[in-house]
Amino acid sequence: MELRGRAALVTGGGTGVGRAIVLDLARAGCAVAVNYSRSEAEARATADEARQLGVQAMLVRADVAEDAAVRGMVEQVVADLGRLDIVVNSAGVTVQVPHADLEALDDAAWDRVLGVNLKGPFNVIRAAMPHLRLSQGAVVNIGSIAGVHGIGSSLPYCASKAALNNLTMTLARVLAPEVRINTVAPGFIDTRWWKERPEYQLVRDFAARRAPLGKVCQPEDVSQMVLALLGNDLITGEVVVLDGGFARAV
């Protein structure tokens, strides 16, 4: 896929990995829609920076867990950008609950995490599908090694990312041959979300020591893989682990 002249929607595009993806798409000449739910100031700054790179950029607010909001968002993106070729599902949430503490997980925790991390990508893909089919487009989901190896912030988070992997493989058959869909599954990512946590340095150092490559993911590492998957027309239904070898370490 040639990215120049295309139009992309990036959910959770205002911060962290989503922001890096928006800016790399803009550098490649792709118009971008920056979705956000709460981080309006950050999303606005990201869209402004994308415009400075010479492409059209817009803000669009929607909670991806809400189907009606997502359908409205996609309509707005197509109306403003004139087309929709690429979807990157980067929006995500979690809860911090030890895996052994089953009683700490209530319905609200499960519903919110599954709503954003699993239903959200489905809602966006479903709403965008007619436009993606028309343009021979592509989807990239942002998953996690939590969904591959069952490690991470909580059971709902791990389950949501594992289900996203399965959804990717299943939809790859459903959407083919017009639309490709893949998932990037990073390990620890050095983002603001982690930096605001008291255990940040401890967890980061552990992840870097364990990884054979001796380092952790930066948002730009994930973005580069997203663009690589968008650019290769022979890859679909894949879950690409991006963790410096962390999960393979003995």
pLDDT in tens, 93-112: 999 999 999 999 999 999 99
- At 250, the pLDDT band (50, 70, 90 cuts) reads low
User: CB count, 10 Å around CB of 5?
Assistant: 12
Contacts (Cβ under 8 Å, ≥6 apart) of 223: 17, 20, 21, 23, 24
**CA dist list (Å): 15 to 64, 127, 172, 191, 233:** 16, 23, 28, 9, 28
**CA–CA dist 1, 85 (Å, integer):** 10
Which of 122, 157, 188, 246 is catalytic? The answer is: 157
Residue 157 is among the residues annotated as catalytic for this protein: yes
This model's pTM is above 0.75: yes
Question: What are 194-218's pLDDT values in tens digits?
Answer: 777 778 888 888 889 989 999 999 9
Contacts (Cβ under 8 Å, ≥6 apart) of 215: 208, 244
Q: What is the DSSP letter of 84?
A: -
Tell the residue number behind the tokens 């403003």, with chain if given: 80
Q: What is the DSSP letter of 104?
A: G
Question: What are 191-200's pLDDT values in tens digits?
Answer: 877 777 778 8
Mean pLDDT (whole number) for 139-145: 97
Domains of the chain (ranges plus CATH)? Answer: 7-248 (3.40.50.720)
